[in-house]
Amino acid sequence: MAKISMLLVGVLLLGGWTGLLDAEYMKYKDPKQSVDTRVEDLVSRMTLEEKIGQMLQIERKYASADLVKKYFIGSVMSEGGSIPAPQASAETWINMVNEFQKGALSTRLGIPMFYGIDAVHGHSTIYKATIFPHNIGLGATRDPELVKRIGAATALEVRATGIQYAYAPCIAVCRDPRWGRCYESYSEDPKLVQVMTEIIPGLQGDIPDNLPKGVPFITGKEKVLACAKHYVGDGGTINGVDENNTVINRDELMKIHMPAYFNSISKGVATIMVSYSSWNGVKMHANHELITGFLKNTLHFKGFVISDFEGIDRITSPPHSNFTYSVEAGVSAGIDMFMNPKLYIEFINDLTMLVKNKHIPMSRIDDAVRRILWVKFMMGIFENPFADYSLAKYLGIQEHRNLAREAVRKSMVLVKNGESADKPLLPLPKKVPKILVAGSHADNLGYQCGGWTIEWQGVNGNNLLKGTTILNAVKNTVDPETKVVYKKNPDAEFVKSNGFSYAIVVVGEHPYAEMHGDNMNLTISDFGPETITNVCGAIKCVVIIISGRPLVIEPYVGIIDALVAGWLPGSEGQGVADVLYGEYGFTGKLPRTWFKSVDQLPMNVGDPHYDPLFPFGFGLSTQPTKGFYSA
């Protein structure tokens, strides 16, 4: 009897251990399983609390490893300019991201989190990163292959800081330059914006031929999740007022603002961010027809839809006045992940109550979580959750700076060159006795880079950025015997009495981002007009406009010998000197119509009242003249 009992206990123990071993095998942890199998296995194991946590992205200032663990947070982010320490190194960023990751991995199911940041023209809020031209300048290059290479370089620098998700590209079609985000748009022309979606395979990797359309795709630890934004119509608001109402019929919405999303989805973009703006009075963050109906069901987008920063709060006016309603509207519309930087506990409580009271079906929650987890499995973060310190060396490397310099010279648009074609001013001679460089933007990296650089609204001066100002680029390029005199705003007498051979005037607008850049006047900042008048009224001059959009220049064109649209070139000002002095020819073409007067706005190519100062697509060319030294 004792022997039988012992045998029975042995069998039971063996069976118990076998059961435990079976429980230990979790399909979602097995990289040999398909992504679909892993997603379904993991979703089946999750509680409502764990699912809602995956739907949240919170700001680093309000996060910690313990908090990520406690609330099962799916993602952490930096708002514009939010950094772990002043002038933080790549290693400091990696340490922070890995610390949050430890919190995520210590949860019951060990679902890793990813970190998001605005890397909209390079890894642009990071100290010592390469700052590429803003999108409007890239639109002027007409070079999608260049933009793809910029995407790859940006991805590598983002990964150099341990971050896996970039809120780029902005594929807005800016229809009114008075909009404060116009420089984030490649063009007023939908076809040009479509072509520039080639940045997505640069950021994420090339999508394999055998992958179904609409499926998100990202390859390896040197690539990042991309984010097509802002869905949809953000560049078409009335008078260019940021976050406002786009009044347009469905056919026009589809023809102007939607096409680049078709391309983005076909290139495997992992995420799409919803716009703050409205379409015909309906807030996009609450638009079920366009998010679920069109984007998910018609276009078969399989990635996840993310809100903008506190985007659902702004469904109501004033913002956050009925947050429970906003949560219900946003989730029901089809948003999957919520950029809720600070008030995440309120979001968790409200969404839990809405699901438990059957105002939101569990199927909607499961759809959101499946999409987020699909992207996480695809990107390989379950197998490689921690940042790789060996990538830190790629931040701001010379190869990327050379690429940015190439982008700068290709983005410069020459719109006037001398009084006639047979008497051009450019390219400039390198060897002359003395030249004048003038203007508020000639020796200011912050102004040169614009908004979304180091801080959300950009910065002033040269202290926080590594790069080359246009003044220093000129000094680097001219003959050693040529004297370069810099004066920010010289008076006419100074210009006349100093025997300058010619002048380079660099003026424009101060940095700004989003609604802070909304501008109904579009005039040149500071003493720009005065500088142009004083200098160009006295000697031969080339004027370079550093701006995120066309500005009022028509009153001064007559006294300007040569005029260059320089956009917001970023950190590598040497690219400007490359074309001024004939190391390379001018090749850029206007990505936007240059108006005569703001009274004409909005005015885009193809409009019946089209009467520009310089039309869309215009741009003079010059030939390289290497060895061109004398006047």
Catalytic residues: 308, 514
Helix pair angle (323-333, 362-378), 10° resolution: 60
Distance, in Å, from the CA atom of 7 to the CA atom of 11, rounded to the nearest integer, reads 6
Among the listed residues 242, 154, 166, the one whose alpha carbon sits nearest the alpha carbon of residue 513: 242
Residue 160 contacts residue 122 (beta carbons within 8 Å): no
CA dihedral 25, 30, 32, 33 (to 10 degrees): 80
Residue 269 contacts residue 227 (beta carbons within 8 Å): yes
Residue 128 contacts residue 122 (beta carbons within 8 Å): no
> Beta-carbon neighbour count of residue 516 at 10 Å?
15
Strands (E), 322-386: 338-339
Q: Using DSSP, state whether 271 is helix, strand or coil.
A: strand
Alpha carbon 289 to its chain's center: 26
Helix, strand, coil shares of the chain, percent, nearest 5, are 40, 15, 45
Question: Is the four-CA dihedral 283, 75, 204, 576 of positive or negative sign?
Answer: positive
Distance, in Å, from the CA atom of 183 to the CA atom of 51, rounded to the nearest integer, reads 37
Residue 106 contacts residue 69 (beta carbons within 8 Å): yes
Q: Using DSSP, state whether 127 is helix, strand or coil.
A: coil
Q: Using DSSP, state whether 484 is helix, strand or coil.
A: strand
Distance, in Å, from the CA atom of 414 to the CA atom of 594, rounded to the nearest integer, reads 12
Q: Using DSSP, state whether 56 is helix, strand or coil.
A: strand
Among the listed residues 620, 622, 593, 621, the one whose alpha carbon sits nearest the alpha carbon of residue 609: 593
Q: How far is CA 103 from CA 63, 112, 343, 386, 573, in A?
A: 10, 9, 19, 12, 42
What are the backbone dihedrals phi and psi of residue 591, each rounded to the nearest 5 degrees, phi first?
A: -85, -5
Which residues have CB under 8 Å from 56's CB, separation 6+?
A: 71, 73, 74, 75, 337, 338, 340, 344, 347, 348
Distance, in Å, from the CA atom of 184 to the CA atom of 187, rounded to the nearest integer, reads 9
Distance, in Å, from the CA atom of 64 to the CA atom of 614, rounded to the nearest integer, reads 52
Burial of 109 (0-12, 13-18, 19+ CB in 10 A): middle
Cα end-to-end distance, the chain, whole Å: 113
